[in-house]
Amino acid sequence: MKTLSKLFQLLFASYLLSGCATPGPISRLSPIADQSYWVQGAEVAQLPSREGLHLEVSFLRSTPRYLIFEIGIQYNTGGKWK
């Protein structure tokens, strides 16, 4: 009877520990851009400016189905607004 009780306790303890011992998946992102800087803990990747076009991309957050990025586009032609 003691053996059955100890076996039950061991099975119950392993059941409790197995539920919280498996971590969820981790996504690791790293930019391929040569230039990047950090703003408030987030890395912002800069693409080289061409003909007045300046692009910046940073990871914002994730959902179970999507990775969400923040994209900044600045277009400077040097002209004046009409």
Instruction: Say if 11 falls within a structural domain.
Output: no
Instruction: Say if 29 falls within a structural domain.
Output: no
Rama region for 46: left / alpha / beta (φ>0; ψ in -120 to 50; rest) = beta
Instruction: Say if 66 falls within a structural domain.
Output: yes
Contact (Cβ atoms closer than 8 angstroms) between residue 70 and residue 57: yes
Instruction: Say if 43 falls within a structural domain.
Output: yes
Structural domain that includes position 62:
34-82
Write the pLDDT tens digit of every residue in 10-55: 777 777 666 655 666 677 778 888 888 898 888 899 988 888 888 9
Instruction: Say if 14 falls within a structural domain.
Output: no
At residue 6 the predicted structure's pLDDT band, cuts being 50, 70 and 90, is confident
Closest CA to 50 of 79, 74, 81, 80: 74
At residue 68 the predicted structure's pLDDT band, cuts being 50, 70 and 90, is very high
Confidence (pTM) = 0.56
Residues contacting residue 70 through CB under 8 Å, at least 6 positions apart: 57, 58, 59, 60
Q: Is the pLDDT of residue 82 over 60?
A: no
Instruction: Say if 19 falls within a structural domain.
Output: no
Instruction: Say if 26 falls within a structural domain.
Output: no
Number of domains in the chain: 1
Instruction: Say if 24 falls within a structural domain.
Output: no
